[in-house]
Chains A and B, each alone.
Chain A
Amino acid sequence: MSETKTVLLVEDEPNIMEALRFVLERDDWRVVTHSDGATALGAITDIAPHVVVLDVMLPNKSGFDILRELRAGQNTVPVLMLTARGQQKDRDMAIEAGANRFMTKPFANRDVRDALNTLIAQ
């Protein structure tokens, strides 16, 4: 961990956002948050984080759409998708849209940390 990595949390539930921020900042992540779907794409491009945590159910635009547009713009930033809808088709859609990892809520904090570290390492 030589340098500080930036993670962008795109999530509209303030409680979940707070929990993740606490857990990741403890691991020395620089945590940036964004809660609106419509402007999330611009935020990702502007902030250029090392990794993105993306919720599916966002106000105004779904996480799938944001990811699809992101990949269409040749942006290869690693993305961890979180969803509260635990069905197989959600997982398939996430992979298809270009997610690097996919996790179902509720998750173990450790799994998120491990997943992000894995994504950074790649």
Chain B
Amino acid sequence: MSFNLLILASLGYVVFLFIVAFVAEDRAERGHSGWARSPWVYTLSLSVYCTAWTFYGAVGFAARSGLEFLTIYLGPTLVLVGWWWLLRKLVQIGKAQRITSIADLLSSRYGKSNLVGAIVTVLAVIGTTPYIALQLQSVSLSVAAFASNTPLGPLDVAKTTGIWVAVGLALFAILFGTRNLDVDERHHGVVTAIAVEAVVKLFALIAVGIFVVWGVADGAADIKNRIDASEIAQFNVDNSRWIGLTFLSAAAFICLPRMFQVLVVENEDENNLSIASWAFPLYLAAMSLFVVPIAVVGLELLPEGSNPDLFVLTIPLTQGADGLALLAFLGGFSSATSMVIVAALALATMVSNNMVMPLYLRAQNIGATVSGDVRAVVLVSRRLSIVAVLLLGYIYYAVSGGTVALSSIGLISFVGVAQVLPALIGGLFWRGGTRTGAALGLIVGFSIWMYTLLLPTLFADTNVYSSIVGDGLFGIEWLRPYALFGVTRLDPIVHSVFWTMLLNASAFIIASICSFPNPVERLQATTFVNVFDLAEETGGWRGAAIEAEDLLVMAQRIIGGRDAQRLFTQVARKQGKEGYLPDITPDFITVLERRLAGSVGAATAHAMMGQITGGSSVSVEELMAVADETAQMLEYSNQLEVKSAELERTARQLRNANEKLTALSVQKDAFLSQISHELRTPMTSIRAFSEILREGDVNGAERARYADIIHDEARRLTRLLDDLLDLAVLENGQVSLNIENARLEQLINRAIDACVNSSSQMHIKRNRANEAIMLATDPDRLAQVFINLITNAQKYCDAPKAELRIRIADLGPSVQVDFIDNGSGIGVAQQAVIFEKFSRLTDHARAGGAGLGLAICREIVGKLGGTIEYLPGQDGAAFRVTLAKSLP
């Protein structure tokens, strides 16, 4: 077939892709992006995983190592069918945090760290550039395969092709990848074009496969025989390679910048992911179905020494199926271009966002406020980044093209980008992962990867490195790049995977545990790890249209109706408008925000404006600031609360004291009346009878009786005066105690004997066994207390069958003596004052005393080192005397 036809078809195909991308972009812009958002387009866009390296290389791989090539597809299959574990969370976080790249993801997770973002970016560029070179080489080689009969010669053709492909791809990526700065970084044109390319490459490979099985061979049975007869008939796969490569491809599927771009950034809907979870494995299975047949037939048909990496192309060519060969070429072309476009886009985003912009902003010293100028800068920096990435890829290709170094770069690149895995997984599932840990893990993994894999491959031909590979760094044997620490049983790739992953993860975990994250990191950690818990709370206001009225409503709530309206009319008038609603301009927003900040604090105002204007989600720093302000306010109000609690406590104490004083004053008045009554009553009798006796006309019996009455009443007066004196002495602390050892039982006996007389109906219940307790006390005084309590019960117990229970409780060092009657007890109001002097429960004279009894009891018990208290909640009135068994 003619070389020109090939060029023509290729150009036509490229034009077709540009049109597809343009139409898709155009439709998306007008809001008709329905099919571009379908799960099928999403699934097909994932096929950027299948690069030219897999399109051509899988057959070569199979021709060399049999079924081992399948591991490259089995890993992603496991990741996808297990989407519930990881991808679901990744996509959710990507949407919630508006993640733009894998570097952005890690940077965001580890406290918006520029350092982590930059490390990942460098890693991605170093890991991806050779891979881009590989794609350029594959396109060039495939063109050269057609060019064997052109005057130029294959090699020149290859070089020229490389340049033009690179230029074309740069153009495409810039055109459709940086048309505008989407907030969400979605590129409908690019994704749609890639989906089309995915169909082309699958179709091409299956077409070649069918041609091989049913055109060259005699169907499936014949192919089976040919396989069994071929040099790859036996399954000679090293266990560690099978497991290691499956793991590696799974890791790369998640970590490759281009895969992250299509999987997470371009994802529109979780639903798409669920469909892709089976649809993409199906795509991969279909892609690999005919790989072994093509390899076996190629090995048979083509002369010894032919490049098995080009069997897909050379089999149709040698069989004269030119059309099929063209299709195969376009398939390979599609594989290469789609990978390069997405990779360039992803890398450019990373380079621009994580390296160029931070540096630019720092240089300009304008902070992070995005204005129109900065947007232009971002676009330019991203376009330049695309050009730079492709240029880098081309240079790499031009320098090392055609060498072994390049063809083996696929897996090596996988190992490089897989270094992101520990920080990624740790960041998603472990809140303890810190920025220090992530950075250290990445650097450790990256260095070991460079030492054990990339450098030995790149500089295999140089003397210096071949000596290092043979003898180890500085001649230290256990530092040999392919046999680190003496591990010689693994092949270089698996060896590197083993050591990088082990040491990377260890460094990440240990450094995370040892370091302490800053608040932003901790907040982000929670947001990432608990993304599903938070998902239901977010949303709602995002993307809400900005309305002056909304702003007015909010402003009125915060600074008050009149002020808000005045502000709004002022601004409106300045804009030349009537009424309350000015146009929303950046100036107006700034003014309003500043005004609101005066009322609610800067961070809150900014966050509120952000909510209303919907321009961007509230950033973590803003949330932190809000949290700080809120914390300060909480702190302040806490202090107020403490103070007011103190005040309230003081007030309550004062109130209590006042109540007590008032009650005491009332009591004192009452006492004066009482004492007057108590003194005057006996005196009245004495005076009346003494007058009668003085007047003389009484008989002998009467005279004796009246003299007795006078005598009794005089004694009653004396007793009262004694009590008053007693109390005065006790209160002044002038009492002297006669401490002796006494048996509680005897004291109680004595008290009861003193109280019980014929007129007393009270039944006294005791448990004498409990009363066998020796006390060091003043027996007379204590008996006086008991007598008082018993007589009180006799006086006041109003039960028809009065009963007094004396209950003893031995508490070891002390003893409790309870006097419980079965009357109606003492009201709560009176409980507070019964021990006060002059207190008497009722006015009636039956009580006989002046209300000094309990006051005296309290003084005595206090002197004896004990307490007496009213015991509420019993059947009747109850008093508890607590005494120490021995005095201190």
Contact = CB atoms under 8 A, between A and B. Distances in A.
- Are A and B co-members of a single complex? yes
B400 interface: no
B697 to A, nearest CB: 8
Interface stretch (B137-145, B254-262, B646-654, B676-684): B676-684
Interface stretch (B429-437, B518-526, B688-696, B853-861): B688-696
Interface in A72-99: 84-87, 90
Q: Give the interface SS of chain B, mostly helix, strand, loop or mixed.
A: helix
B686 interface: yes
Contact of A12 (B688, B702, B845): B845
Contacts of A84: 676-681, 684
Interface stretch (A2-10, A13-21, A39-47): A13-21
B718 interface: no
Contact of A19 (B679, B680, B688, B845): B688
15 contacts: A15-B689, A15-B712, A23-B688, A57-B677, A62-B843, A84-B679, A85-B673, A85-B677, A85-B680, A87-B673, A104-B680, A105-B680, A106-B680, A107-B688, A109-B691
A87 B674 CA distance: 12
Nearest to B710: A15
Interface in A42-80: 57-60, 62
A16 B673 contact: no
Given A84-B684, A86-B676, A87-B676, 5 more contacts: A13-B685, A19-B689, A22-B702, A57-B845, A84-B681
Interface in B478-521: none
Contact of A20 (B680, B688, B845, B846): B688
Contacts of A62: 843
Contacts of A106: 680, 683-684, 686-688
Interface string A20-37: 101100100000000000
Q: Give the interface SS of chain A, mostly helix, strand, loop or mixed.
A: loop
B826 interface: no
Contacts of B691: 108-110
Interface of B: 672-673, 676-681, 683-689, 691-692, 697, 702, 709, 712-713, 843-846
A22 B677 CA distance: 23
A91 B697 CA distance: 34
A15 B709 contact: yes
Q: Which 7 A-B pairs have the closest CB atoms?
A: A19-B688, A84-B680, A15-B685, A84-B677, A106-B684, A105-B684, A106-B687
A80 B843 CA distance: 21
A16 B843 contact: no
Contacts of B713: 15
A16 B685 contact: yes
B574 to A, nearest CB: 81
Contacts of B679: 84
Interface of A: 12-13, 15-16, 18-20, 22-23, 26, 57-60, 62, 84-87, 90, 104-110
A59 B681 contact: no
B845 A16 contact: no
B692 A59 contact: no
Contacts of B686: 106
B843 A107 contact: no
B676 A85 contact: yes
Contacts of A13: 681, 684-685, 845
A88 to B, nearest CB: 12
B689 to A, nearest CB: 5
B685 A57 contact: no
A54 B810 CA distance: 53
Contacts of B712: 15
A86 B678 CA distance: 12
A121 B839 CA distance: 43
B684 A59 contact: no
Contacts of A60: 844
Nearest to B694: A109
Contacts of B676: 84-87
A11 B697 CA distance: 25
Nearest to A60: B844
A120 B672 CA distance: 34
A59 B683 contact: no
A18 B211 CA distance: 144
A35 to B, nearest CB: 10
A16 B681 contact: yes
A106 B682 CA distance: 9
A18 B686 CA distance: 12
Contacts of B677: 57, 84-85
A17 to B, nearest CB: 10
B691 to A, nearest CB: 5
Contacts of B678: 84
B681 A19 contact: no
A101 to B, nearest CB: 16
A81 to B, nearest CB: 14
A87 to B, nearest CB: 7
A23 B692 contact: yes
Contacts of B685: 13, 15-16, 19
A57 B688 CA distance: 19
A12 B677 CA distance: 13
B375 to A, nearest CB: 94
A26 B688 CA distance: 14
Contact of B680 (A18, A58, A86): A86
A19 B691 CA distance: 10
A21 B676 CA distance: 24
Contact of A16 (B672, B688, B844, B846): B688
A90 B672 CA distance: 13
A95 B697 CA distance: 36
Contacts of A86: 676, 680
Nearest to B680: A84
Nearest to A13: B681
A59 to B, nearest CB: 4
Contacts of B692: 19, 22-23, 109
Contact of B844 (A26, A59, A105, A107): A59
Contacts of B843: 57, 62
Q: Which of B677, B684, B702, B843 has the most CB of A within 10 A?
A: B684
Nearest to A59: B844
Nearest to A26: B697
B681 A105 contact: yes
Contacts of B689: 15, 19
A122 B692 CA distance: 27
A106 B702 CA distance: 21
Contacts of A22: 692, 702
Contacts of B681: 13, 16, 84, 105
A57 B840 CA distance: 14
Given A84-B680, A84-B681, A85-B677, A109 B688 contact: yes
Contacts of B688: 16, 19-20, 23, 106-107, 109
Nearest to B682: A15
B83 to A, nearest CB: 91
B673 to A, nearest CB: 4
Nearest to A56: B677
A59 B846 contact: yes
A51 to B, nearest CB: 18
A37 to B, nearest CB: 9
Contacts of B697: 26
Contacts of A87: 672-673, 676
Contacts of A15: 685, 689, 709, 712-713
Contacts of A26: 697
A57 B676 CA distance: 12
B687 A107 contact: yes
A108 B684 contact: no
Nearest to A62: B843
A108 B697 CA distance: 17
A110 B695 CA distance: 11
A104 B676 CA distance: 11
B680 A16 contact: no
Q: Which of A18, A60, A106 has the most CB of B within 10 A?
A: A106
Nearest to B705: A18
Contacts of A107: 684, 687-688
